Every structure is written in structure tokens, then in C-alpha cells.
Amino acid sequence: MQRTVLLTGASRGIGRSIARQLLIDGHRLSLGLRDPEALRGTDLDVEDVAHYPYDAREPASAEAWVEGTLRQWGGIDTLIHCAGLLHRTPLLFADGEEHELDDLWTINVKGPWWLTRAAWPSLVSSGHGRIQVLVSMSGKRVKGRMAGYPVSKFALMGLCQSMRNEGWDQGIRVTAICPSWVNTDMARAVTAVEPAAMTQPSDLASLSCSLLSLPNASVPFELAMNCSLET
């Protein structure tokens, strides 16, 4: 079944890998981008891929993106949240770093919340809506001294649970995808795990697309993976 997918974070990393695999699998894509020209002339600049301006900080851009996609294709049955922000803000952050907490909350929690709200009526009307959210293992446990990022991801996991409860009877199924380190630009500073030993974006793309082929009764709520053993 061909799906019409709203996808954030497709300019690079995990989001871009998922977008490529979705296109290979025959789905239509509506990509929300801070710079809609960023993918012009690439393999994601083809007939079944639309590019719309989107800024997670601006709720109005979420509504405009959804409305534009509905005018173009008539419906939306899948929403995949890949955009996210990493700040290593500790519990005892320094004066002047408090804006990082607002950034993390806005991008990692409020952005997906606003976009989900805007797309919700179309997801419901499809009867087989799907929402996937790249949460991270940091939404399940806290390691080291980081505080701001995992707290935002714990909140995002709570948002996923609320989406699941709200949409269950309307056929909407939600999956929180929780990887540890993934070989992307966000993990470039990591030295404890070699890039080749990390989860690869293409592997997450395969998992994401496989989930879309499952019937309502078989969609997992949580998909957790770790590239290293934690005790």
C-alpha cells in the first residue's frame, strides 16, 4: 500500500536515510525542511517527493505544511518525526546556558506535539494512521552528566504514550524508536564507540519502513536498540 508520509529531519542523517528508503518502497513523501532548497537536485528531488518550509519553533509552519500537503495529495496517513536537537546541558548548567533548555524543549517536544496536532484529523480519517518518533535511548535512561537532552527525550516518550492512547480507537499506531549511538553527524564527537560499530542510519531506515507494512494488531509501540552492552 502506498502511503503519504510527512517526514521531518530529511536533510541529513537518519531522516534522510528513511526518506530514501520510503521512496524506494513506493511511498509519497512530504518533507518539512528549514531550507526547502536544500535537497534540490538530489535523489530526493523527484516526482513523488514534495518539499515544504518547516521550522519546529513555529507552530504556524506545521499547519501550513499540513495544509499544503493535503491540497497537493488529498490526505496524510503517516507522520515520522526525525528532527531533533542535542545540547550536552548538565544539571548544574552555567549562567547563560539556560536558553539551551528552552531550545531542547521547543525542538524535541513542542515541535513534534504541534505537528502531530496539525496532522491528526488526516491521520484519523485514513483509518490506518502511523506515527513514528525518533526518541533515543536517552528517553529511557540517563547516562553521565547530561540532563537537558535526556529530560527532553523522556518528555518526548511521554508524548508518544499520549499519542498512542489518543489514537488507538481511530486506528492510529505509534512507535517510539529508541536507538543509542547512530553513525551520524550528531555522534561525531563520540570516542567510546567506533562509527562502524554504531547503529547505521540505513538500518534504522529499513526498520522504519518495515513497520509500515505491519497490520494494526502487530505494530510495536517501542523499538529499542543499543550498539553496546549496558549494565
Which residue in 56, 11, 15, 54 sits closest to 34, CA to CA? 54
What are the two backbone dihedrals, phi and then psi, of residue 134, each rounded to the nearest 5 degrees? -80, 100
Question: How far is CA 117 from its chain centroid?
Answer: 15
Active site residue 149: yes
What is the edge-to-edge ordering of all strands in the sheet holding 78-81? Answer: 49-53, 28-33, 4-8, 78-81, 130-134, 173-178, 222-224
Which residue in 41, 211, 60 sits closest to 132, CA to CA? 211
Q: How far is CA 118 from CA 26, 34, 70, in A?
A: 25, 18, 11
State the Cα–Cα distance between residues 185 and 174, nearest whole angstrom.
26
Task: Choose, from 65, 113, 149, 181, the residue flagged as catalytic.
Answer: 149
Contact yes or no for 183/198 (Cβ under 8 A): yes
Just list the catalytic residues.
149
